[in-house]
Copies of this chain bind each other. A is one copy, B any other.
Amino acid sequence: MKMPSETMPARLLRLFGFCLLATALLAAAARAQTLPLPDNLTDLNSPAGEKYFAESGALVTYFSIADHFVTQKTQAYCGVASIVMVLNAAGVPAPTTPEYQPYHIFTEDNLLDERAEAILPQAVLARRGMTLDQLGALLALHPALTTEVHHAVDGGLDTFRAAARDYLASKDHFVVVNYLRKAIGQQAGGHISPLAAYDAKEDRFLILDVARYKYPPVWVKASDLFGAMNTADKSNDDKTRGYVLVAKIGGAATPAPIR
């Protein structure tokens, strides 16, 4: 019987390939605290994510919000977690809580008062989360801040990119986005999280995803993010999702120099 000379090496090669694949899968499984990312999204904690960060020159802008990164306390609390991050990052005078006496900080437990209840009853929040307009209205309760709600349909990609880029380069300025996860290849519904940086070279924004049990912070193309915001929200009279621009009154309006 004649055996083709390449058979054994080919088999070995296939076996080697299989081992490599198995090793990669095992490594992924061992780390699988979060869901896998589609190719269009880049984990901040990766060589490419690091490169985009260095390109973005964000640093201080990034730190001001990342120092206050929290996980949403339930699967409906993405908006609450995002508001808490912005208020603490802006240094808005905060209430205290029994566990932190005498210190003051906004938490997902002490944020919602009777004024918030009038905008969004906690029973509704627990069931359905919050809409873009409710997010804006809850932020606007704080007189130390200016708040602008922008539905994606009211402006194009260029308007969003320019505003978000300028805010992310300015001290005490913040951007919170409301987008449809499945439009950027994530699972699955509407979501809210703060942005933390912009990389002009890649035209990508960094989302600090508050569902940390589900996804890491990701760099997303501006056009992909805009497309995911430009989607109808049936909980909000089919208006499109969008973004909220927040600035601390007295915060530097001129963009910080891009380094």
Contacts and interface: CB of A to CB of B under 8 A. Distances in A.
Contacts of A33: 88, 91, 93-94, 104-105
A59 B67 contact: no
Nearest to A47: B60
A122 to B, nearest CB: 15
Interface residues of A, number: 44
Contact of A44 (B49, B63, B88, B93): B63
A32 to B, nearest CB: 8
A50 interface: yes
A30 B248 CA distance: 11
Interface in A49-80: 49-50, 53-54, 59-60, 63-64, 66-71, 73-75
Interface stretch (A131-139, A177-185, A211-219, A239-247): A211-219
Interface in A108-125: none
Contact of A69 (B34, B67, B94): B67
A127 interface: no
5 contacts: A33-B93, A47-B60, A53-B63, A67-B212, A100-B213
